[in-house]
């Protein structure tokens, strides 16, 4: 397929992914807030008599709303029910398409790092697919096991297995690919919760009522548990969606631990909001989240690994020759690297002016994080990185 067509298709799919994700996560935030904000109706009231467990009054957009939640179900179903499912399905399907376009079709550039493991394209893609499917299967088993009856313990075990997944992928894939595949594993768990547990349970409840029977409260409990899990997954998975912009995290020697510290911060911050909506002032949770984020900021701060001493004179022509050999295939107006039609990140390095203008960015990406060249496919050596570092420290002279 034409490289420009693939790139434009990726733009459209990413746009759809963001829109669907906003709708899905927005509904998750709203309904957890709603559950936590409901007040039981007064005993003997009409609402109490018809089985309402909680309700609230709200005003929005110039109108008044009175949402109610039934302990199990109303006495009779209305003709029309709204099902919250396509937000989840569209988010996962568009995310999977993005994964294929951005990573699996460019596995050697985007997933494989020869300094970590030498993998074929098939091995890298297969590993990504197994991590997604396997994560859902293990998570689902844990929820159905005795752990599932203890929410706190289950949460700790799930966090532990996701930590193991991040560590394992970090032994085989490049940091950026590891981050995104942990994100797709969590996203798969979230979407599968909707597809395999929440919606089927709700359909069984509806079918039982329409057949004149009573719905099984267990279906409601299981759906609520998985919905709450999805709510706690949201902040970690949102970070992982945008993590490719922050090389200091995924290029860290212990990137898997950095990822899980950030995930833990997201979980405790989300827990604060859930508790706050219940009227509980649990300020220890955002304080813990701030501490975890502070640890990440300190831990990922630049600490240069010593480079070999530079042999010979350092001048612009020498730097330009290195960049021309190692970087310009991706960072020119018309890249020659297969699959790219635009300079990556909008960074141009094909002229002397462009090189000097991007000197600080070169230092960060080539010398500090060493995430570039991507996957080191052009085989930049530490000696060459040392030359670039010495040139920039000398003020990046253009001659």
- Both structure tokens of 202: 């709700």
Question: What integer is the mean pLDDT of 184-212?
Answer: 95
Mean pLDDT of all residues belonging to the chain = 92
Of 299, 327, 347, the residue that ends a domain is: 299
**DSSP letter at 105?**
G
CA atoms 114, 120, 123, 124: torsion sign: positive
C-beta separation of 199 from 190 below 8 A: no
Residue 134 has pLDDT above 70, yes or no: yes
Domain around 354: 316-393
Q: Which residue's structure tokens are 């940091």?
A: 175
Higher-pLDDT residue of 4, 143: 143
Q: Are 292 and 322 part of one and the same domain?
A: no
Using CB atoms within 10 A of its CB, is residue 150 exposed (0-12), middle (13-18) or buried (19+)?
exposed
Q: What is the pLDDT of residue 338?
A: 73
pLDDT by residue (tens digit) across 248-290? 899 899 999 999 999 999 999 999 999 998 889 899 999 999 9
> Does residue 11 sit within a domain?
no
Establish if 255 belongs to a structural domain.
yes
Domain boundary among 258, 274, 299: 299
| 198, part of any domain | yes
Q: CB under 8 Å to 231, separation ≥6 — which residues?
A: 28, 29, 32, 270, 274
Are 383 and 308 within 8 A, CB to CB?
A: yes
Are residues 287 and 358 located together in one domain of the fold?
no
Residue 128 lies in a domain: yes
Residue 75 in any domain: the answer is no
Global pTM value:
0.85
E strands, 66-113, where?
A: 68-70
Give just the sign of the alpha carbon dihedral 250, 253, 255, 258: negative
Same domain (yes/no): 251, 382: no
Residues 292 and 359 grouped into a single domain? no
pLDDT digits (tens, 9 = 90+) for 32-60: 999 999 999 999 998 998 999 999 999 99
How many domains is the chain built from? 2
Which helix H or strand E contains 58, and what residues bound it?
strand 58-60
């Amino acid at each position: 397929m034409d490289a420009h067509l693939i790139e434009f298709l990726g733009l459209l799919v990413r746009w759809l992914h963001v829109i669907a994700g906003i709708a899905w996560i927005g509904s998750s935030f709203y309904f957890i807030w709603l559950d936590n904000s409901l007040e039981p109706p007064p005993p003997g009231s009409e609402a109490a008599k018809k089985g309402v467990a909680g309700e609230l009054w709200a005003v929005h957009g110039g109108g008044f709303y009175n949402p109610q939640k039934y302990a199990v179900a109303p006495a009779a179903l209305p003709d029309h029910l709204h099902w919250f499912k396509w937000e989840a399905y569209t988010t996962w399907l568009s995310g999977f398409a993005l994964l294929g376009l951005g990573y699996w079709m460019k596995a050697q550039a985007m997933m494989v790092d020869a300094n970590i493991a030498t993998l074929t394209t098939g091995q890298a893609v297969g590993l990504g697919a197994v991590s997604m499917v396997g994560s859902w299967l293990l998570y689902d088993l844990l929820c159905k096991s005795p752990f599932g009856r203890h929410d706190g313990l289950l949460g700790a075990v799930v966090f532990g297995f996701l930590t193991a997944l991040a560590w394992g992928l970090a032994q085989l894939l490049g940091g950026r690919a590891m981050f995104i595949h942990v994100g797709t594993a969590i996203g798969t768990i979230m979407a599968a919760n909707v597809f395999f547990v929440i919606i089927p349970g709700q359909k069984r409840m509806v079918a039982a009522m329409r057949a004149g029977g009573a719905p099984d409260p267990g279906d409601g409990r299981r759906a609520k548990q998985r919905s709450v899990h999805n709510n706690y997954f949201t902040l970690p998975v949102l970070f992982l969606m945008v993590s490719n912009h922050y090389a200091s995290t995924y290029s860290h020697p212990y990137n898997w631990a950095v990822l899980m510290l950030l995930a833990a911060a997201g979980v405790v911050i989300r827990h604060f909001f859930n508790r706050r909506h219940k009227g509980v002032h649990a300020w220890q949770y955002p304080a813990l989240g701030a501490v975890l984020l502070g640890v990440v900021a300190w831990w990922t701060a630049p600490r240069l690994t010593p480079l070999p001493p530079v042999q010979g004179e350092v001048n612009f022509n020498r730097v330009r020759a290195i960049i021309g050999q190692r970087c310009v295939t991706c960072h020119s107006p018309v890249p020659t690297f297969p699959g790219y039609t635009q300079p990556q990140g909008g960074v141009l390095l094909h002229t002397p002016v462009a090189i000097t203008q991007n000197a600080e960015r070169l230092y960060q990406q080539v010398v500090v994080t060493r995430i570039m060249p991507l996957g080191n496919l052009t085989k930049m050596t530490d000696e060459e990185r040392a030359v670039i570092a010495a040139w920039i420290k000398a003020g990046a002279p253009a001659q």
